[in-house]
Chains A and B, each alone.
Chain A
Amino acid sequence: MAAELPVTCTRCVLPATFPGITFDAAGVCGYCQDAATAGSVAVARQQLRARMEAVIAASRGQGAYDCIVAFSGGKDSSYTLQSLVRTYQLRCLAVTIDNGFLSEQARTNCTTVTSALGVDFLMFRPAPTFMARMYRTSVTAGGVQSPAAIKRASAICNSCISMINTLMVTFAIQHEAPLIAGGYIGGQVPKDMAVLDLNLIQQERMRAPQQERYTQLFGPAAGHFFFIRQSLLQQHPNGHVTVINPMLTVALREEEILTTIQALGWQPSQDTGRHSSNCRLNDVGIAFHYRQHGFHPYVLELAEQVRAGLMDRAEALDRVQHIPDLATLTPQLAQIGLRPDGTAAPD
């Protein structure tokens, strides 16, 4: 009989319920063991930054904008935007997707931060009926995303992220921008996404097999929110855009991020829960994810922050052990047509 698994890795915060996790005799998880042999994180980060800076230098001045920035008004994308503008002097178009749950403070931050930085700003709001169906179905249908996607985020977040990624590529093509920037931090996405060359035709071929299913699940609008039309792809001069995530190339504690953006007039939202600085639906996603999978959807990201020395383990543990209560989230549930038990509410 196998030894009993520890409840949580003794070094980071990954729990025994995390998919595919292994522990050694000392209760250290496979991720921590790999990290211990992976060489210097600081050196790897430095190399990623050098690669990113080379791509930035080569991308300047090609199109109407150098970079489309996926800008949520939250803390990480606000920090990212100021870094691209101030440190790298890129001509940016900040694009916010209003998912219907953007907090009022985040909306104000969008305007305040882009004004302070002198950046063009575009707000795009998909139809609330589409968004409600997308979020509702992501919870009720289950398994909309790949099985491994549950390691990264809740079903609600994964659908939203996937939609936003596609829309950013669409905006990049329309505005002839060679770069797309996001504010992902360590553990949210593969580290290589610090600089990632996207072959747009190959990207669309990868997604194409899912188009029919997405259209069935989310409705006809899924066709242009999750997939890029061939006619649009053909407009692109070379079929490539590069995604950069500058925050993956620096080691920053949350306090440093906040100090920098507060100087631009950014202020924290009070109604978005502990894990988001812009979205009032985030806690709904966390609660359903925990109920279904038995672990907090931010645990991979927080474990990475702990491993990198950017967050204290006690703080991370406290965050992943606090699961939002759906009973306090009824307005959000009503807006997407869900009951607290995760079933669709009658119209």
Chain B
Amino acid sequence: MSDCTPQIARFMQSQFLVTFDGQRVTPTTNLFESGHLDSFGFVELITFLEREFAVTFSDEDLLSNRLNSLAGVAAVVQEKLRHGR
């Protein structure tokens, strides 16, 4: 299974105008804290992930605090793909 990170990173770069420069913003930066993600952005992100990867997110996923960074989002999606949900 290929890594979904580059695809998610491209989406975040084009939609949220975030640049993963490895200094100010890295794959583990909390994008709510950095101010790149707001509630509208989060709707767009979830919609994109559900459409592109055919996954769905539960309340548990939303409250896990993992969907706040590129690395966190990619890890959750990867797990779902592995477990086929």
> A interface vs B, CB < 8 Å?
19-20, 143, 145-149, 152, 162, 165, 189-190, 192-193, 196, 199, 201-203, 205-210, 213
Beta-carbon contact of B37 and A146 below 8 Å = yes
Beta-carbon contact of A205 and B63 below 8 Å = yes
Q: Tell me if A's interface is mostly helix, strand, loop or mixed.
A: helix
Selecting from B1-9, B40-48, B73-81, the interface stretch reads B40-48
Query: Apart from A147-B17, A205-B63, what are 18 other A-B pairs with CB-CB below 8 Å?
Result: A20-B13, A146-B35, A146-B37, A146-B38, A147-B16, A148-B36, A149-B38, A152-B40, A162-B38, A190-B43, A190-B47, A192-B47, A193-B40, A199-B63, A201-B63, A206-B42, A207-B32, A207-B39
25 A-B pairs in the complex with CB atoms less than 8 angstroms apart: A20-B14, A145-B38, A146-B16, A146-B38, A147-B18, A147-B35, A148-B15, A148-B17, A148-B36, A162-B38, A165-B39, A190-B44, A190-B47, A192-B44, A199-B62, A202-B59, A203-B39, A205-B65, A206-B39, A206-B42, A206-B68, A207-B32, A209-B32, A210-B35, A213-B35
Interface size on B, as a range, is 20 to 34
| Residue B33 interfacial (CB < 8 Å) | yes
| Residue B69 interfacial (CB < 8 Å) | no
> B interface vs A, CB < 8 Å?
13-18, 30, 32-33, 35-44, 47, 59, 62-63, 65, 68
Q: Select A209's contact among B30, B39, B41, B42, beta carbons within 8 Å.
A: B30
List, in ascending order, chain B residues with CB within 8 A of A213's CB. 35
Q: Smallest Cβ distance from B54 to chain A, in angstroms?
A: 16
Beta-carbon contact of B36 and A146 below 8 Å = yes
List, in ascending order, chain B residues with CB within 8 A of A146's CB. 16, 35-38, 41
Q: Select A20's contact among B17, B32, B44, beta carbons within 8 Å.
A: B17
List, in ascending order, chain B residues with CB within 8 A of A152's CB. 40
> How far does the alpha carbon of A149 sit from the alpha carbon of B37 in the complex, in Å?
9
Residue of B nearest to A21 (CB): B14
List, in ascending order, chain B residues with CB within 8 A of A20's CB. 13-15, 17
List, in ascending order, chain A residues with CB within 8 A of B68's CB. 206
List, in ascending order, chain A residues with CB within 8 A of B39's CB. 165, 203, 206-207
